[in-house]
Amino acid sequence: MNKAQLVEAIADKMGGRQQAADAVDAVLDAIVRAVVGGDRVSVTGFGSFEKVDRPARYARNPQTGERVRVKKTSVPRFRAGQGFKDLVSGSKKLPRGGEVAVKKAPKGSLTGGASATVKKAAAKKATTKAAAAKKATARKTTAKKTTAAVKKTTAKTTAAAKTTAAKTTTAKKATAKKAPAKKAATKAAPAKKSTARKTTAKKAAARK
């Protein structure tokens, strides 16, 4: 039986040849992609598909008998399930017509196997790590902004203090300069009084 014959065999059950062809293509594509990705595809009662790594080895060329080195490679492998084996060996009778030859999957098994659970756990861990990274980045950004704000405030306060100190110093210097002038004026005033007294004394002497 080839692919076309397989499609014809299930066409009546799938509602048409096109629907059957699409179903076969979808199933085969899913199996191939999973196995290539290193995942194991297991169908209860039918068998399992998996990827197997073969190490480098030496083999014999059947035509010449020459020893040839074979590189490391990976090959797909199919292992028949026990139900499939029993039907082929004849220990179990093959169901007639439309009955299901392969054992149905148990309830709950279609929600995902161990590999699906592992993938979900990995996805959750990745999401958690991403969230933690975002929080850490947000904290660092906030800390930087706070530090910058504190530095700006400190700079402004320092500048204001310097300006106030400069103004105070300038005022003190101006006051110090004015004080000697007042003292000089005070000293000049007694001199004028003494001159006036001498003039009055001279006038009194002349009258006599």
Structural domains in the chain plus CATH codes: 3-111 (4.10.520.10)
* Residue 85: predicted pLDDT: 93
Stretch 66-92: mean pLDDT:
93
CA distances from 70 to 50, 53, 62, 75, 123 (A): 21, 13, 14, 13, 38
Total-model pTM: 0.49
Higher confidence at residue 25 or residue 194? Answer: 25
Q: Is residue 45 left, alpha or beta, with left meaning phi > 0 and alpha meaning psi from -120 to 50?
A: left
Task: Indicate the pLDDT class of residue 95, thresholds 50, 70 and 90.
Answer: confident
Average pLDDT, the chain: 76
- Sort 143 into a burial class: Cβ within 10 Å, 0-12 / 13-18 / 19+: exposed
The CA angle 162-167-170, to the nearest 5 degrees, is 125
* Residue 50: predicted pLDDT: 97
The CA angle 26-5-10, to the nearest 5 degrees, is 60
- Which residues, 6 or more positions from 18, have their beta carbon under 8 angstroms from its beta carbon? none
Torsion of CA 10, 14, 17, 19, to 10 degrees: -130
Out of 18-32, 80-94, 112-126, 158-172, least confident range: 112-126
Out of 13-17, 37-41, 55-59, 117-121, least confident range: 117-121
Out of 40-44, 91-95, 121-125, least confident range: 121-125
Stretch 132-158: mean pLDDT:
67
pLDDT tens digits along 154-194 = 667 666 667 766 676 666 666 656 555 455 445 555 555 56
Radius of gyration of the chain (CA): 53
Higher confidence at residue 82 or residue 199? Answer: 82
